[in-house]
Structure 1
Amino acid sequence: MTTTDQVAQYLIEDQMADLTDAIREAVQNGVDSPGSERVLVSVTPDRTVVCDDGAGVDLAEKAGRRDLSVLGAGTKARDDDATLGEWGIGTGAIIAKGAVRIWSGHQALCFDYQDARDTAPFAQAAGRNGVVVDTEHAFDGVCVTIDHYANEVPAPDSYRWPRIYDRLCERFGYLTFRTGVEIVVNGTPVDRGHPFDTVDDARVAVTRETTDAYLALTHTPDQGLAIYSNGLYVTTDHDAGVGGVVVSNGNLTLNFGRTDIQSGCDRWGRIQETLEDARIALYDQLSDNALAAQTRSMMAELIATDEGLRERWRGRQVFQLVTETPVSLAQIQAAPQIALQEGVGHGADALVERGSIILDTTDQATDQLARAARDDDAAITLPDTFVVHERAEALGIWEGYTRLADIELTTRQGRYLLFARALADAMGIDRTISWGEATADAWTDGYTRIVITDSAVTSPKRAVWTHDLFLVLCHEAAHDRSDKRRTAHGRRFESRFRELLEDPSARQAYTDLVGAIQEQGFKRVFRDRGVTLG
């Protein structure tokens, strides 16, 4: 195998790894065909057919056959925004996936790259060598048929086929918008309309239109920013700190696989400048309570590197304490001392409750701030730090957690525990309820156990302590991970806690239990409900 053959094989077999890549190339060629107004795509597990109504290709001429059979021989220029193709390798991507017939006029160019067919019209075709055959009827435009190789596509009953159909619709989402050519996949037109339409229903959105692109940004960083080159999907940037779409007004310079943007693409460089401004405008519209972790991380990076934004967002609650409480740069810098710690740890939660600033470096945004402050030429200064366990010891904060056996409890503690167990069972809280000692009112491992302490009960009056225990059970049940070392009182916890607290069935369970005790007494109710001390 010569070097040229090896390069060709690499381009055909490795760079175009998916059936959707081959179909994309066929559709691109159809859209680029002069006079084309519609491209029809039919995909089944056995065969793909792509037809366009353009001017077609004269396969009787040597130039027409060469453009479709020789890698790199296409006439499309990389800087030609009137066409989508760039490299002249589209046919190579197509022939890798099956026995291919490219039919135009009264002739068809046939390929059998894997030399897997021994019947006409593929009997004489093998590798990159195509064979031209006459057809009984003429086709106006170009019709590409790919009879799939079994080893290049999923099994006919595979779950992956619906995904392939969905990805095709995604790939061609804005092609009609950019070219005016209608794309129909399996009978359904694929047209997402104007890029700005995608953010019509977003609560917070920013749109920009420039000579280079259309940008429609939303605050959905977890979904990523979908990037389209001249209407064709390229990739999704999950590090952009925003969601939405970017549709370039003209071709981006892409890699061979058309799956990423090459460095040095001037148009993309200008688009990124617009993206940076639009992203800041989007963040300015968001309330602090709405900031996602990725958003805070991006804001932290900008605060560390941009003096103007540092002052502009100094009061924004971008960072996080070990209790998952949000905090601003202004609050951090106003503290006489701060601490940096990975997670809450023993005693840290109590110190934060007393007003200490203990930053959680497991949070990406907060860690970025800490690292930026440690740089030799740091533009951000932070207060001096203290050691958490030394501060806790100096303030007399007990840092232990002890679970007590039932036989160690006083009569009062035993009654509280029996009530809590009966209430947890009535509320459907599937965790073992115990009594213990700690500075916290209670703690949980987030899965199997809740331990309550004396401090959860604020009054010996029945109407008060029963409600205290209802609140603490709702609180601990809302934690889906241990709060013994990490008191997670962030937005996610608050949402779950509020839902449980306001759940009518939970409140009814509490009311029914208290009412039964009022009428029948503690002993009978506990006996009837099967709750005991071990």
Structure 2
Amino acid sequence: MTTTDQVAQYLIEDQMADLPDAIREAVQNGVDSPGASRVLVSVTPEQTVVCDDGAGVDLGSQTGMRDLSVLGAGTKSRDDDATLGEWGIGTGAIIAKGAVRIWSGHHALCFDYQNERETGPFARASGREGVVVETDHAVDGVCVTINHYTSEVPNPESYQWPRIVERLRTRFAYLTFRTGVAVLVNGEPVDRGHPFDAVDESRVTVTRETPDAYLALEQTPTPELAIYSNGLYVTTDHDAGVGGVVVSKGNLTLNFARTAVQSGCERWARIQDTLDAARVTLYDQLRDDALTDQTRAMMTELLTSDADCRDRWRDRKLFELVTETPVSLARIQAAPQIAWQDGADHGADALVERGAIILDTSDSATAQLVSAGRGDDAAVSLPSCFDVTTRAKEAGVWQGYTRLPDTALSTRQGRYLLFARALADAIGVDRTIEWGEATPNAWTDGHSRIVVTDSAVTSSNRLAWTHDLFLVLCHEAAHDRSDKRRTAHGRRFESRFRELVEDPTVQAAYTGLVTAIADRGFETVFQERGVSLG
């Protein structure tokens, strides 16, 4: 098999996404250098310099020149845990980002891949063809200088430069721990010490050391598990269900870009087995009220696929009813019948308050359970289902929402509606006020309409029902989104509701309207205020 120019171009230009990828290749080459104890990295918008104090490379020899200038010709092996490099193509990644000088001893190997330099040795370098020149003085170890191509790096004033430096610190965080070689970026050591120090002792944590890796896991609000191959950062797993770090002992089998673990990596397969067991141990220590949505979803995935986890967590409250009430698998399975739907409505809420089990499939963990409990080959046994609408009607809990035309209202309803419209105008509620039929006292779309129902009025006494309507209008006006399906009474709602009810201007407007009606009668006041039925 031979390598075409297109493949070579891909390996140089496309395998590494950005400057930190190229710098990583230079750093790992420095760490791999025999006898190296330190690698120094200096990064500015104009130039990157990477130097090590290892044995160096004899660039004056044919072998040394070949190892650094021919893709895949290096001496590194993918099975060699003594070195970080695997492919022998790191130089290709480096020369894509700028005019490069690799200096060791009395010789320097120079590349100008984009043919942008016209002076010195770079004038004779072209594309993949490097030029070796003799130097006036010797360099111990290897010093790599990358004079950045403008097209390959962010603008010097860009916010991205501080992030580049921070990303480099993250990439090399456990190299010193694994190799003993110190790495400094812009004068600062990047070593984070032992992987077990990565987790926060104030959280629930689990640590494991195996022949393959160090695992330090913790429960975090946003699970992010950082994966390091022999101390070198590879990727972050956002779906592991835990936070922390995994640092392998020896190299993981990675892709060309070194940004993912390949599926056939035997060491990683063994690490994942340990990770699965450690994750279960961590979940066992968490209180149910401390579980994040993502953790519940991960536990449900394990519960529905593994009988041991199912028995282990049967009494854990991992799922949600439509009322946002947590519920366990044990309680679900004990019910004579259950139902599920995507989100809540007032009918379903009322049935749950009467003891029914109605699961909310808008919740990820609950949706997974329902999916696993469907069909003849269901992984989880669930009770038979009932229809929510039918059950609500049988229980006298009507869950429909109907707006009534003004012409269909009774005299009493018309008077209530006219008062509500006059009141809304007086207190500054800029929404259309209508009458309707539904189980709740009223509902709103959160921005343009409020619909009031008969149940909003608790008494025929004028002072009582006018105050009922005052509170209902303030309540619905405090909702800035629809409450037709799920009634959201969080802190934002409570604050807006209190502001309206307690506002002296609002209270004065309400009192003025009620007083005017007492003095001059309904019809006169409604006519004065310009409210009428359509």
TM-score normalised by L of structure 2 = 0.84
Correspondence list, 1:197-236, <5 A: 197-220=197-220, 222-236=222-236
Correspondence list, 1:516-531, <5 A: none
In the alignment, what sits opposite 1:312?
A: 312
Deviation at 1:76, TM superposition (A): 1.9
Which residue identity lines up with residue 340 of structure 2 in the other structure? L
Separation in structure 2 between the aligned mates of residue 195 and residue 470 of structure 1, nearest angstrom: 58
In the alignment, what sits opposite 2:167?
A: 167
The alignment covers a number of residue pairs equal to: 517
1:286 aligns with 2:262: no
Which residue identity lines up with residue 331 of structure 2 in the other structure? Q
Separation in structure 2 between the aligned mates of residue 327 and residue 304 of structure 1, nearest angstrom: 16
CA shift in 2, pair 1:325/1:189, >3 Å: same
Separation in structure 2 between the aligned mates of residue 137 and residue 422 of structure 1, nearest angstrom: 89
Separation in structure 2 between the aligned mates of residue 233 and residue 206 of structure 1, nearest angstrom: 21
Separation in structure 1 between the aligned mates of residue 390 and residue 220 of structure 2, nearest angstrom: 41
CA shift in 2, pair 1:358/1:11, >3 Å: same
1:366 aligns with 2:369: no
Q: Where does the alignment leave 5 or more consecutive residues of structure 1 unmatched?
A: none
In the alignment, what sits opposite 1:114?
A: 114
Secondary structure of 2:121's counterpart equals coil
Separation in structure 2 between the aligned mates of residue 237 and residue 288 of structure 1, nearest angstrom: 24
Deviation at 1:164, TM superposition (A): 2.1
Deviation at 1:423, TM superposition (A): 8.5
Secondary structure of 1:270's counterpart equals helix
User: Does the 8 Å CA contact 2:322/2:344 hold for their aligned counterparts?
Assistant: yes
CA shift in 2, pair 1:467/1:440, >3 Å: closer
Correspondence list, 1:63-102, <5 A: 63-102=63-102
In the alignment, what sits opposite 2:52?
A: 52
Deviation at 1:389, TM superposition (A): 1.9
Q: Deviations over 1:403-458 (max 9, x none)?
A: 67999867677778888998898xxxx98888765313454445666666565677
In the alignment, what sits opposite 1:12?
A: 12
Secondary structure of 1:121's counterpart equals helix
Report sequence identity in percent: 66
Secondary structure of 2:343's counterpart equals coil
Q: Deviations over 1:162-213 (max 9, x none)?
A: 3322222221122222223222222332222322222225422222222221
Q: Where does the alignment leave 5 or more consecutive residues of structure 2 unmatched?
A: 518-524
TM-score normalised by L of structure 1 = 0.84
Greater shift in the superposed pair: 434-443 or 234-243: 434-443
Separation in structure 2 between the aligned mates of residue 533 and residue 142 of structure 1, nearest angstrom: 87
Separation in structure 1 between the aligned mates of residue 41 and residue 279 of structure 2, nearest angstrom: 37
1:128 aligns with 2:133: no
In the alignment, what sits opposite 1:321?
A: 321
Separation in structure 1 between the aligned mates of residue 396 and residue 374 of structure 2, nearest angstrom: 31
Separation in structure 2 between the aligned mates of residue 467 and residue 289 of structure 1, nearest angstrom: 37
Separation in structure 2 between the aligned mates of residue 470 and residue 283 of structure 1, nearest angstrom: 45
Deviation at 1:227, TM superposition (A): 0.7
Separation in structure 1 between the aligned mates of residue 37 and residue 357 of structure 2, nearest angstrom: 64
User: Does the 8 Å CA contact 2:346/2:440 hold for their aligned counterparts?
Assistant: no
Deviation at 1:521, TM superposition (A): 6.6
Separation in structure 2 between the aligned mates of residue 93 and residue 217 of structure 1, nearest angstrom: 33
Correspondence list, 1:319-358, <5 A: 319-344=319-344, 347-358=347-358
In the alignment, what sits opposite 2:522?
A: none
Greater shift in the superposed pair: 64-73 or 434-443: 434-443
Separation in structure 2 between the aligned mates of residue 525 and residue 186 of structure 1, nearest angstrom: 77
In the alignment, what sits opposite 2:43?
A: 43
1:296 aligns with 2:296: yes
Correspondence list, 1:446-457, <5 A: 455=455
User: Does the 8 Å CA contact 1:51/1:143 hold for their aligned counterparts?
Assistant: yes
Secondary structure of 1:135's counterpart equals strand
1:438 aligns with 2:438: yes
Which residue identity lines up with residue 336 of structure 1 in the other structure? P
Separation in structure 2 between the aligned mates of residue 205 and residue 61 of structure 1, nearest angstrom: 53
Deviation at 1:344, TM superposition (A): 2.8
Separation in structure 2 between the aligned mates of residue 325 and residue 484 of structure 1, nearest angstrom: 19
Which residue identity lines up with residue 67 of structure 2 in the other structure? D
CA shift in 2, pair 1:124/1:244, >3 Å: same
CA shift in 2, pair 1:352/1:325, >3 Å: same
Deviation at 1:477, TM superposition (A): 4.8
In the alignment, what sits opposite 2:520?
A: none
Which residue identity lines up with residue 285 of structure 1 in the other structure? Q
Secondary structure of 1:207's counterpart equals strand
User: Does the 8 Å CA contact 1:174/1:192 hold for their aligned counterparts?
Assistant: yes
CA shift in 2, pair 1:377/1:403, >3 Å: closer
Q: Which one has a bigger Cα radius of gyration? A: 2
Q: Deviations over 1:480-511 (max 9, x none)?
A: 753313x26xxxx67xx24764x6x9868755
Taking only aligned residues, the RMSD between alpha carbons, in angstroms, comes to 3.7
Which residue identity lines up with residue 278 of structure 2 in the other structure? A
1:105 aligns with 2:94: no
Secondary structure of 1:322's counterpart equals coil
